[in-house]
Amino acid sequence: MSAATTLLVTGGAGFIGSHVVEAALARGWRVRVLDSLRRDVHGDGTMRVPAQDGLEMVVGDVARERDVASALEGVDVVCHLAAKVGLGVDFGDAADYVASNVGATAVLLQAMRVAQVRRLVLASSMVVYGEGAYRDAEGPLTVPPRAADDLEAGRFEPISPRTGEPVEPLLVDEAAPSDPRNVYAASKLAQEHLAAAWARGGDGTAALLRFHNVYGPHMPMGTPYAGVASLFRSALERGEAPRVFEDGRQRRDFVHVRDVADANLAAADWTASAPAGTVRAFNVGSGVVHTIGEMATALADAFGGPDPVVTGEFRLGDVRHVTASSQRAADELDWRAAIGFEEGMQQFAHAPQRPPAGGGDT
């Protein structure tokens, strides 16, 4: 891919998007950002990446056809990161999630077809899997959602419906069935389906990046929209102990935001060579399993704050274990996470954060 590449990053003023912008500029690409700079997301509405040669900022809404059509002029490839994030457990938020994620993605894809922009990198999420991969004594299986009665009794591990015993968690790969278990997850899966229909119905190529637990510099402070790492770091800033739900043994894959930015560019490269009509999902994770309790402890130690407190609290809709196999990304995108867990937590403990604004984007 030549230095003349022009990349459109929707949501490019957000947490992950701004890192994608920086990484692309460092490559010598021309970058255009389309972001609404909503104050409930961005606070004072300023762009974190400073103005510089090769960067163009367009303030506009991905859900508005004229804004998208203008932003696509001269673009080679799109990284679509603009989204409403968070659990979406309260179904009262369903219409906003669908409008922000599904409706806006449809507008973007329609405009890309008209503009003949045929390369897409979509920010998806591990949440499309629901619970991760498991097996019991009889082999692999899909576990049902955990019951409120079990959670209230402190029985946090999923139980095999076949044996009645706790199951063994495995790494989930892209062949695993989708099983979205909240409104946000359903909206991310809908985005994937729209991207697939767009690519297969024309000459497009689409990389669907299923991000796992992303953390790093400039995460929004103290908001559930940004994930558990942000909540723990914000508690430490206040001099408080991180509060760890359940028993702290939930398994996750924590991946540094700079690695995620590199994965976006690797996927953008892939779209240039993949056959027309190709759609491919890729897990984007570190490939190393850690528990939420381990992450809280590592972050507290690196920060020099109080030890985490395991509360036993829970949220319906949370999954117990979901960890990634990112082997496909290594094999096909030539991408691997470069920042290890200990190094990343040491950096994150003292990295700048974005002030809270009351909402969230990718």
Catalytic residues: 184
Residue 259: strand, helix, or coil: helix
For 106, 174, 290, the CA distances from 134, given in Å and listed in that order, are: 34, 14, 16
**286, 337 Cβ separation under 8 angstroms:** yes
Name, in order, each residue with C-beta under 8 angstroms of 331's C-beta and a sequence gap of 6 or more. none
What's CA 146's distance to the chain center, in Å?
Answer: 23
| DSSP 8-state code for residue 127 | G
Outline where DSSP puts E strands in 109-173: 119-125, 133-136, 139-141, 168-172
For 220-245, b/e burial (b = at least 16 CB within 10 A) is: bbbbebbbbbbbbbbbbeeeebbebb
Closest CA to 213 of 225, 228, 224, 223: 228
Helix, strand, coil percentages, rounded to 5, for the chain: 35, 20, 45
